[in-house]
Amino acid sequence: MTRAARQIVVPFEAPATAAERRAAMDEQKKSFLRMVSHELRTPLNAVIGFSEILSCELYGPLGSPQYKEYAEHIRASGHKLLSLVNQVLEIARLEGHAADMDLAAEPLDHALEDTLEQLAADLRETEVSIDIADDTALPSVLADGRGLRTMLFNLLQNAVTWSPTGGVVAVSATQSGGMVHIVIADQGPGVDPDDIPRLLKPFQQGQCALTRRNNGAGLGLAIVEALSSAMGGSLSIVSARGKGLTAHLSLPAA
């Protein structure tokens, strides 16, 4: 048998392009995040649901009043942990380019209405009111619906959290140059201008009182900045000690 006869012909396969490898990695990230999301959220939702049943004494009295109090603590802690899990998964999706954006015309008034419903309990507890300027003529934005509501929720929750009891959070929106500029201003303690860059970075609280005082993970504003950037917009913060904090969220007009 000659050397030529012993040769084995292997079909040539072109190496994957950088774009194909990147797409495959993004798909792996999405699959991993879906799995983690399910494995973390499912037991947490069970803890929250059953603790609510216990705290409401749905199937009869628990006996000692302390049991009801403990159940309420479990429920509150479960909600806090679920919120943190959601934020961590959101920032992981955005930083890993694994977030799917469905951009469409979104009426800003509808998104704000949905967000205020989510914040109803916080508003009652803090007695903070939301003042929306000219809420009958708010423009529409080109955005992902879920992402838009996530941004508004994080910005408004932050403003409500740091406003004094009975305070007012001012919201306005104007359109110019193909962009809609949303402004959310609170009457809270504000932060030093040097601390503002830390607010926009995940997990980097530094000496910033805004995240340190409430033991937060420092993810809310970082998520807003990442989401706005993914939608072709931007986020900027203006603040000073004792003068509140104003968030400027810009998104493409629909």
Give the pLDDT confidence of 102-152 residue by residue, as tens digits. 899 999 999 999 999 989 988 998 999 999 998 778 999 999 999 999 999
Residue 60 has pLDDT above 80, yes or no: yes
32-36, 174-178, 235-239: lowest mean pLDDT where? Answer: 32-36
Supply the pLDDT for residue 206. Answer: 42
**Lowest-confidence pick of 91-95, 149-153, 174-178:** 91-95
Distance of alpha carbon 232 from alpha carbon 159, whole angstroms: 24
Tell me how far apart the alpha carbons of residues 214 and 30 are, in angstroms, rounded to a whole number.
31
Whether the pLDDT of residue 89 is over 90: the answer is no
pLDDT score for 29: 72
Contact 40, 85 (CB under 8 A): yes
Selection from 72-76, 130-134, 196-200, 246-250 with the highest mean pLDDT: 246-250
Mean pLDDT rounded to a whole number for the chain = 85
Q: What percent of the chain has pLDDT over 70?
A: 85
Scanning the structure block, which residue is given the tokens 């530094």? 206
3-state secondary structure of 214: coil
Q: In the structure, how many helices (H) and strands (E) does the chain have? A: 9, 7
Quote the pLDDT of residue 7. 64
| Calpha distance 251→98 (Å, rounded) | 21
Give pLDDT, residue 218.
Answer: 67
pLDDT of residue 212: 47
Q: What pLDDT score does 4 carry? A: 52
